[in-house]
Amino acid sequence: MAKKKTKFMCKTCGYESPKWMGRCPGCGEWNTMDEETEIVQKGPRGAFQHSDAVKQKAMPINDVAVEDEPRVHTEMEELNRVLGGGIVPGSLVLIGGDPGIGKSTLLLQVSALLANQQQRVLYISGEESIRQTKLRAQRLGVLSDELYIYAETDLALIHDTIDNVKPKFVIVDSIQTIHHPEVASAPGSVSQVRECTAELMKIAKTQGIAIFLVGHVTKDGQIAGPRLLEHMVDTVLYFEGERHHTYRILRSVKNRFGSTNEIAIFEMVQAGLKEVLNPSEMFIQERSQGGAGSTIVASMEGTRPILVEIQALVTPSSFNYPKRMATGLDQNRVSLLMAVLEKRMGMLLQAQDAYIKVAGGVKLDEPAIDLAVLMSIVSSYRDVAVRASDCYMGEVGLTGEVRRVSRIEQRVAEAAKLGFERAVIPASNIGGWDYPEGIQVVGVETVRDALDLCLPQ
């Protein structure tokens, strides 16, 4: 017999409760508990319900035959690198981002590129009608006979359409609009998103179809729904950017078929998204020459080195507690570096407001940016500009030492390619590799050494 069971689930973290609560105990968010009805099938006591699927036997791992499955390369080299070299058949890819950031535009352009390679693509739109999708495709100029459009939200009908069309690639825009007919809760709820994703994952794995899912995000920028959704898929991509800027960053935070933290940079133009092949030049092309508080750091985003400008503004505070604001950086990291300057260098920053920004809208979170952030703070505090041809990289410890960073060869090579004349790096990274031509590599052991070298009093 079937029995209905009512429960409340958090749409942010998936926490379950038999009663409604204003604040979720799992994630601490307010007003995120939604009521859902679950149909429980009761069978004989001790009986184990299993499907009629073909049984497989356990076997030694050495006896498993593995074949290299070729990836499908699109004409977007930026997207190929983020995915680990191309699209893997049978993979499930989740793309999240703010509304209007360009998720549907990117996937529609990718669909046309695949269709032009005689790969059949099925674009399932749960938010737009077929005519609206056709108008958007005409504006982008991405029409093709192998690109099929289907506007539906019922998962059962979508499954039948996939069986009839037999595509190689499927785009679902978006997963929050799809509903499973056997699940009683509303579309977009935790149960619906979880069951629909599980069904689409089964289709991808059994039929070898690469499926792209578009996911809505919360106000904090996370994929809407429980974190279980990210664990189910093979690849999770986040589309970042600001509406006031034309540049968009596609970041890989999970990838079973490649490295994580890879980024692809696009520019939003009238004809859609355009690839940016040299992001380092883009981020530093508007740098002001001779301005105090501006430094350049060579940061690694996945396997790609990117030169980014870090700006600092240190001014006397008119409050009892000075302000510490950071954009594109961890604010706690900025406070830590300022504490190192106060303790180890004797700088009185307790009465100074500090505003730190990463130009271009990119976010940096690796330890190798410490030295550049510290140099920009001191440059603004002393109102003395550093050399415009210098590039900084290094991790700063609490005792004021400059520690080793990874992939130093790629960082320095990128700086040399863009015309920088000197790279200030940790002394422990000196030696053991060939320096590029045209750039001077200088090693420093402590913060004091870096300041005496670049900002002597």
Domains 75-277 and 282-454 share a fold: no
| pLDDT for the residue numbered 45 | 43
Residue 239 belongs to what H/E stretch? strand 235-240
What is the structure's pLDDT at 223?
Answer: 63
Average pLDDT over residues 365-384: 95
The pLDDT assigned to 98 comes to 84
Strands 2-10 vs 33-41: parallel, antiparallel or unpaired: antiparallel
* pLDDT over 50 (residue 345): yes
Residue 11 annotated as binding site? no
- Backbone phi, psi, residue 106, to 5°: -65, -45
Element spanning 192, H or E: helix 190-207
CATH architecture under which domain 282-454 falls: 2-Layer Sandwich (3.30)
Residue 104 marked as a ligand binder: yes
CATH of 75-277, one of 2.60.34.30, 3.60.70.12, 2.60.40.10, 3.40.50.300: 3.40.50.300
DSSP lists the bridge partners of residue 109 as: none
What per-residue confidence (pLDDT) applies to 69? Answer: 67
Confidence grade of residue 368 (pLDDT, cut at 50, 70, 90): very high
Give the number of other CB atoms < 10 A from CB of residue 328.
18
CA atoms of 190 and 187, how far apart (whole Å):
9
Predicted pLDDT at 89 = 93
Is 397 known as a binding-site position?
no
Residues near 78 by beta carbon (within 8 Å), at least 6 away in sequence: 250, 264, 265, 266, 275, 276, 277
Cα gap 284→442, rounded to integer Å? 22
Least confident of 42-56, 80-94, 139-153: 42-56
Average pLDDT value for residue range 134-158: 93
Task: Return the structure tokens found at 141.
Answer: 């100029």
> Is 419 one of the annotated binding-site residues?
no
pLDDT bucket at 11, cuts 50 / 70 / 90: confident
pLDDT over 60 at 398, yes or no: yes
Rounded-to-integer distance, Cα 107 and Cα 241, Å: 17
pLDDT digits (tens, 9 = 90+) for 113-127: 999 999 999 999 998
Residue 99 counted as an annotated binding residue: yes
42 touches 54 (CB < 8 A):
no
Q: Is residue 103 marked as binding? A: yes
Strand residues in 86-146 grouped as ranges (E): 92-97, 121-125
Predicted TM-score of the model (pTM): 0.79
CA gap 305, 299 in Å, rounded: 6
Rounded alpha-carbon distances, angstroms, from residue 276 to 111, 233, 282, 412, 432: 20, 27, 8, 21, 33
pLDDT of residue 359 exceeding 60, the answer is yes
Phi then psi for residue 111, to 5 deg, are -60, -40
The answer to whether 383 is a known ligand-binding residue is no
Tokens 């809505």 belong to 216
Long-range contacts of 326-334 (CB under 8 A, 24+ apart): 326/355, 326/356, 326/357, 327/356, 327/357, 327/358, 328/357, 328/358, 328/361, 328/362, 328/363, 328/364, 329/356, 329/358, 329/363, 329/364, 329/365, 329/369, 329/373, 330/365, 333/370, 333/373, 334/373, 334/377
Residues 96 and 235: their CA atoms lie apart, in Å, by 11
Distance CA 151, CA 172 (A): 10
**Does 100 carry a binding-site annotation?**
yes
Under 8 Å between Cβ of 338 and 367: no
Are the beta carbons of 393 and 297 closer than 8 angstroms?
A: yes
pLDDT for residue 113: 94
Tokens of residue 370, six digits: 């410490």
Parse the chain into domains and list their residue ranges: 2-41, 75-277, 282-454
pLDDT 10s digits, 36-86? 776 544 445 444 444 444 567 888 988 887 766 688 999 899 899 899 889
